[in-house]
Amino acid sequence: MSIPVTVGSTAGAARFSGYRPWLDGVRAVAILLVLLEHTNLFKQYNLGGVGVGIFFALSGYLITGLLWDEFAREGRLALVPFYIRRFARLAPALLLVALIAGLAFLLEGQRRAAFNAIFAVTYTTNYAAIFSGHHLAGFGHTWSLAVEEHFYLIWPPLMLLLMRRIPTASFVKAVLAIAVMVLCWRAFLFGVFGEQVRLMLYAGSIERLDSLLYGCAAAVAVRQGWRPGNGAMAAGVVALAVSVLWIAPLSSVLGPTLIGAGGALFIAAIDCERRAVLQQVLSTKLMVRTGILSYGIYLWHIPLLQLSSKNGEGSLPSILAAMALAVILAHLSYRYCEVPIRDSVRQRLAQKKEPALT
């Protein structure tokens, strides 16, 4: 099926195409925030929530940018190869962690944690947690992977629909309007059900959609000529800082908006050429390498923390040891599992192009 869609010239796409190491640096910042929270030294702060929110905003920013650039370059959108690439990028490491950690939990007699691996690999952890009323042992952190996977499933066709139905100049406004509707939905749920739906507001795929949509809007806006000034950069930093410090009932409603919008402003500002200093800091070898391994580190660290602390919270030395082991396992997984599979799939897709929607 061929439907003409115009997204403008390729000039804006070219400016933001290709590998930008500072975005891996942003991933490093996000995973470091998550790890800091799980040291249990900063329980009074929402470091992990902000870290995950930055991951969400960055995912929306990158995926939308890739899809927009593909349309600008080729005049079409190949959805099947997109889904295959996403699966090849994300599934191998997740399956490996689920298998190894699941077996380890079984050997330790933690059957419930082992069983929860099923929810992880089926990307249903968030809804399993919502229906059970608590985060799942061993694999509870994979709720965020479920949110992202559901986004990857619905966003490309929704993006295509928006490009077909509305003028290109109105695309960003339409995405922001959807994000505001998600905020209103959270406010409605909280107003009617209160604390009963706190977990749904935090981990629901629809309820967290706006955290990704702000990144989507920013990706298109910068390609259409928007350049975040110092005010936008400052607003992003302030929003993220407030999100770290503010843990209150209404944060369930406004928190995802603050984190998503703040993260999107921060990322877009960094990705513009005028932010050369920030780009250099985030592009250091250590930051880039940490960002590259961030997915694996995120997957491994919670199972290892639980295995290392059978009775409640572990000591700081055991927590740090578990995190160090997570980095090592993430490196091994990336080198010997993720990269070979990803490259093999890329080669196959290059040899055989799938039909595209245009």
Partners of 77 in beta bridges:
357
Distances (CA, A) of 302 to 119, 232, 317, 323, 328: 15, 34, 15, 9, 14
d(CA 142, CA 126): 7
Q: Does residue 178 fall inside a structural domain? A: yes
Q: Is residue 204 part of a domain?
A: yes
Q: Which two tokens stand for residue 185?
A: 């939905």
Name the nearest CA neighbour of 6 among 81, 82, 76, 79. 76
Expressed as residue numbers, the domain containing 59 is 15-348
Is residue 300 a part of any domain in this protein? yes
- The predicted pLDDT at position 309 comes to 80
| Predicted confidence pLDDT, tens digits, the chain (358 residues) | 333 344 555 555 556 767 899 999 999 999 999 999 999 888 889 999 999 999 999 999 999 999 999 988 888 888 999 999 999 999 999 999 999 999 999 999 999 999 999 999 999 999 999 999 999 999 999 999 999 999 999 999 999 999 888 998 999 999 999 999 999 999 999 999 998 999 999 999 999 999 999 999 999 999 999 988 889 989 999 999 999 987 665 688 999 999 999 999 999 999 986 667 888 999 999 999 999 999 999 999 999 999 988 655 678 899 999 999 999 999 999 999 999 999 999 888 887 765 555 4
Q: How many domains does the chain have?
A: 1
Residue 5: the pLDDT is 45
In a domain, 354, yes or no: no
Considering the domain boundaries, does residue 284 fall inside one?
A: yes
Per the domain annotation, does 2 fall within a domain? no
Which pLDDT score, from 0 to 100, does residue 193 have?
93
Structure tokens at 150: 């559901």
Per-residue confidence (pLDDT) for residue 285, from 0 to 100? 96
pLDDT score of 230: 86
* Residue entry with tokens 């091994």: 332
Quote the pLDDT of residue 171.
96
pLDDT at position 50, please?
A: 95
According to the model, what pLDDT value does residue 80 have? 93
Would residue 355 count as lying in a domain?
no
Domain assignment of residue 7, yes or no: no
* Claim: this prediction has a pTM higher than 0.75: yes
Nearest to 328 by CA among 357, 289, 279, 355: 289
